[in-house]
Chains A and B, each alone.
Chain A
Amino acid sequence: MLYIQLLVDGLVTGCAVGLVALSFSYFYATTGIFHVAHAGIYTLSGYIALHFVKLGLPFVAALAIAIAVAAGVGAFIQVTLYARLEKRGASPLVKMIASIGVLTVLQNIVALTFTPNILQFDLPWRISLVHVFGIGLSIPQLILLIVSPLILFAMLAFSRWTPLGKRIRAVASNPELAETTQLHPERIFIYVIAIASGLVAVPAVLVGVDQAMQPYTSLLVLLTAIIAMIAGGIGSMGGAFVMSILLAVIQSVSVMLVSGRWSIALVFAVFIVFILWRPEGLFRRNFNRQI
């Protein structure tokens, strides 16, 4: 029973991280930019939802606004920063450093606007429990558990069957060719970052509702997600998602085997062995770029 509870806890955490991983992966595989500021958008969107819930809006409306704002901020970063850096011939490394700058700015805007305090949503239903096969889950946990796989499937379908999804895949697989064939990669990049940013708002808000929010801790969430993305195979959204769940479950269940103070080290040891054995990740994809 205890193990099942730990497993479920890992599963829920994994779903949240999985959404971060797949959204990061979507942008990264297309543009090759190590978009650290994704963590800043994660932080920002949670607080935006909190703000509108406080103003009295229904939760769903607040979530929708958070998604829209996140998408807008993402697109703004692409247009004003990444596109310009690209034009100036900046290396991916330089874009990453600029992205760290954006992360710092976003975190501190949040800290200035909402104070650095740990804040919780004022929603009475957020701690009510639902029992599923004897396991007590909070409502936000349950929503995460249901919504996350749906989002994954929606994204896979979008990528495979819609014209825009196909264009994005074409750009991702070969930007130079896309340029000459008039796919307008720079416009595609804006769509991609808007989609990725809107997506990342979902786990940000739901985890915020379930637990609490603070301005300065989202980078670790993102880095965990990136590990999963790499282990899952860059460019594979399903791989990123599955790996996130796997790693989160290992970390959660490992608590019973080793002290929690070594659980991060354990997860990484697993990761390093795994990645040395299969450097291309769980799902093989061609992906290569210079730093």
Chain B
Amino acid sequence: MLNRLWIVASIALALIFAAVSVRADEPYQLGPDSQRQDGVPQGKVTQSKFVSEKAYPGVEHDMWIYVPAQYDGTKPACVMIFQDGGGYVSEKGHSRVPIVFDNLIHKGEMPVTIGIFLNPGVLPAVIPGAKPRRNRSFEYDAMTGLYAQFLIDEVLPSVSKEYKLTDNPEDRALCGISSGGICAFTAAWERPDYFRKVLSYVGSFTNIRGGNNYPSLIRKTEAKPIRVFLQDGEHDLDNLHGHWPLSAQQMNAALLHMGYDVKFEFGVGGHNGKQGGAILPDALRWLWRDYKKE
């Protein structure tokens, strides 16, 4: 009986891994910038819960804040906001952002940057036994400025109470994976007066809630001052919402056509953070490449 359960559990697990499309043959490894290095000062990560009052009333978000060791409060820090932040802030996750930030800030390859990591919101139910309202798609996939408004009116002012953050839109970056990727782009697209750097891993520029329209919108809208780093892989999703590898290429082509400052890394992976995590240090160096010149 025990053996049978073991087999069933193993098969179920294999199916789950197949479903999230982690391909064993993906050649992406985390490099030295994603490992702890001797002599590099470590920033601090604190966890809290952020309850929205305006954009998503009552909706709770897990939030982590990373403050680099080099931040001393004398100068405003740059800021980078990660969607599905729990996956990014984990030192065992696909990207290990606190470690990468520690290393790159130490080497002067990116500015002193405070990281804000937000998980998508959940509205708990109160009727006994009822399911909560999971707000991820509503927040991330919607083609509106509501999420940007949430960040601008609620999250940033709250974090600013404790830390001195930049006022310069060039120094505010957004990052996310899958629907979090399109979310990062949408927030900058809607509010380039606030956010001008975007990093997307396997972004869902597909028809979940109309995101497939971006390539044509970009081509017929006066260019906005946004710098965009896109990552996708040839084995990314092909489902009812669209074809991720094709939509990523369409996004890149549209951004290039309109003269955006864009970089596209198209690999061989699936719908996961493996390649994105592996190239995160390079992506950050590219996004912040001219910071010193300012």
A binds B: no
| Chain A residues at the B interface, C-beta cutoff of 8 Å | none
| Chain B residues at the A interface, C-beta cutoff of 8 Å | none
